[in-house]
Amino acid sequence: MDTVVITNASTYVGRNLATHLLDEGYELRLLTSEPAAVQHLGTRGAEIQATDQLDDGELRDLFDNVDGLFHIATTCRPDDDFANMLASYVDGTRRIIDAAIDADVSRIVYAGSDIAFGDTGRRVCDESKTHDGPFHSPYERASWEAHRIIEHHIDNGAPIIDTPVSTVYGTDRGQLVAALIEHHLAHRAVAHVAADTGHSFLHVDDAVRGLRLAYEDGATGERYLLSGTPTTIGNLLEQLSTKTGIPAPRMELPDGLVDHLEKLLRRIGTLPAEERPDTETSLLASRDINRLFSNRKAREQLQWTPRPLDEGLDDILPWFQRREYEASRRLLESAKMPLVGLTLFDIGLGISALVFPGLYRAIMHPRAGDTDRRQSSSLLARTGLLWLFFAFVQGGASVDPVERPEWVMVTGALRLMDVPADIGYLLSADDLGWLGKAGLIAAPVFNLGIGTFLAYAGYRGLRAKNG
């Protein structure tokens, strides 16, 4: 079986490709800036080389006795500036491809991003698509620059197979689809900014299988779009809603608000002024940019069969749901000590108001007159019973927050309900001492914070428990 080099092997696609090729019997040399992320592949026989330890001579030596190269174009953050992307993405691609060509590597698979071909509008485009519009982000510009290098080498006869990869998803954090699923399951997806934006969503297992098939069966000099299901983010969210029972966000942030946030990011960013007109930092790099591509050529010529998005979501959702359940458990466990503290505090307040009303009145209401004593005693009794009721609910929640998320949620709701009562009493009462005023000033702020936390933790835990 062939010996191949995989660059940027610690990326999500790189790690999965390496695992897939090892399963298929390939000998691997992995080039990565994060050796620890692929150390487990070293135990399976893969050679691991750190990128920052390679000069030009050592890079050439890397390709000794190598049959093929998979160059995985590195991913970049949308807020990276163009200079950094030139160094990591474009110059890195130039060095790797030049070294492989000089070493007479027989087959080179270039796995770039489909963003290099620009906005497709509402059309589903094929391999003939070229970039014909403005650049919307440094990442888009860098992807295009790197692809120009690939096209130049193909025109000069280099044995390169061009395989642009669309929006990959799978059981991993940090990807676009993963972030959408995590926010959806945690009920944090309350608004959207790009529901009409189109992507071609591709399962990572299909992506790496497509790369292998391109290496084995693809024609050099050809382009094969490894694209998944072309659809919008809004449609993806609707599918998630159908599968999970959690409503998809209906509210869209106004374009004006998003534009102001983008301008703020550009103002505080490090992008060189001369690059800003056509490579603007974006709050969401893909907002209003459609990446809808057809995979017909790859399916017909490589016998590649990527799964539909619906099936892909069925495959990965259980993994995310387990993670959400564990995250909700940790959140509820973190609520135990605050619940215990609140319980003890409210027991103390309740008992003091019921058993020692005179002392309580002297401390909290020193200006209460004798004529109001019967009325204030009645108020203190009701207040004391209310605090003991709070203590009962909070104590019940603190026994086992993970198994009693509904108790935690009710505790949070009670704390939030207490906020307007505290504010109203502070504004209307004229018998408060300094300690009473301080308590009623602090109480709304505290109750708002702890109430929001407990209500959210309880609600999230209840949904995860029932889901």
pLDDT in tens, 77-132: 555 556 666 667 888 899 999 999 999 999 999 999 999 999 999 899 999 999 98
CA dist 32 → 70, 83, 293, 442 (Å):
13, 21, 29, 52
pLDDT in tens, 405-426: 999 999 999 999 988 877 776 6
Q: What is the pTM of this model?
A: 0.79
User: What's the pLDDT score for residue 94?
Assistant: 92
CATH class of 3-326: alpha beta
**Residue 184's pLDDT band (boundaries 50, 70, 90)?**
confident
User: What's the pLDDT score for residue 463?
Assistant: 79
Residue 327, pLDDT above cutoff 80: yes
pLDDT in tens, 224-249: 999 999 999 889 999 999 999 888 87
Lowest-confidence region among 217-226, 250-259, 335-344, 437-446: 250-259
The domains of the chain are located at 3-326, 335-466
CA dist 377 → 69, 307, 372, 418, 425 (Å):
84, 71, 8, 21, 16
For residue 231 the two structure tokens come to: 């659809």
- Please state, in angstroms and rounded to a whole number, the distance separating the CA atoms of residues 165 and 306: 12
**Residue 261's pLDDT band (boundaries 50, 70, 90)?**
low
Q: In 86-220, where does DSSP find H-type helix?
A: 91-102, 138-155, 176-185, 204-217
Buried b or exposed e, range 123-157, using 16+ CB within 10 angstroms: ebbebebebeeebbbbbbbbbbbbbebbeebbeee
**Residue 343's pLDDT band (boundaries 50, 70, 90)?**
very high
Computed over every residue of the chain, the mean pLDDT equals 84
Question: Per DSSP, what are the bridge partners of residue 113?
Answer: 165
